[in-house]
């Protein structure tokens, strides 16, 4: 299809732009909600929860400070996993801690 080839849409230009704006607003609201939930939905069967979390995400999720998280790691309450220079925590461990409390 040539970029200069016109195509017909059965609505006025203003209606089209309004529908596009509404679609973008809806998508942004969904993305914001997903971000605020702290969850990412995966399209891979069996994965509906983000499997690993950064330290900052765990602190936000559990509403604790980084010092508390570090203390829990030292005490064995929550096991940290290092990948290169970054520290991550498994969702299964976080979930176990939440259910234990």
Determine the structural domain holding residue 85 and report its residue range.
Answer: 52-100
Averaged pLDDT, 51-58: 90
pTM: 0.51
- In three-state secondary structure terms, 2 is coil
> How far apart are the two ends of the chain, measured CA to CA in Å?
60
Work out the burial of residue 57: count CB atoms within 10 Å of its CB; fewer than 13 is exposed, 13-18 middle, 19 or more buried.
middle
- In three-state secondary structure terms, 80 is strand
Return the pLDDT at 46: 58
Going by pLDDT thresholds of 50, 70 and 90, the confidence category of residue 99 is confident
Tell whether the model's pLDDT for residue 43 goes beyond 60. no
Return the pLDDT at 33: 74
Do 28 and 64 lie in one domain? The reply is: no
Number of domains in the chain: 2
Tell whether the model's pLDDT for residue 73 goes beyond 70. yes
Do 57 and 89 lie in one domain? The reply is: yes
């Amino acid at each position: 299809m040539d970029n200069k080839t016109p195509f017909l849409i059965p609505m006025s230009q203003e209606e089209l732009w309004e529908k596009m704006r509404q679609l973008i607003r809806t998508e942004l609201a969904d993305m914001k909600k997903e971000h605020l939930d702290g969850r990412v939905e995966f399209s891979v069967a069996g994965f509906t929860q983000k499997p690993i979390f950064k330290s900052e995400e765990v602190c936000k999720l559990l509403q604790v400070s980084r010092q508390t998280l570090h203390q829990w790691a030292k005490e064995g309450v929550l096991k940290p996993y290092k990948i290169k220079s970054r520290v991550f925590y498994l969702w299964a461990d976080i979930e176990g801690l939440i259910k234990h409390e």
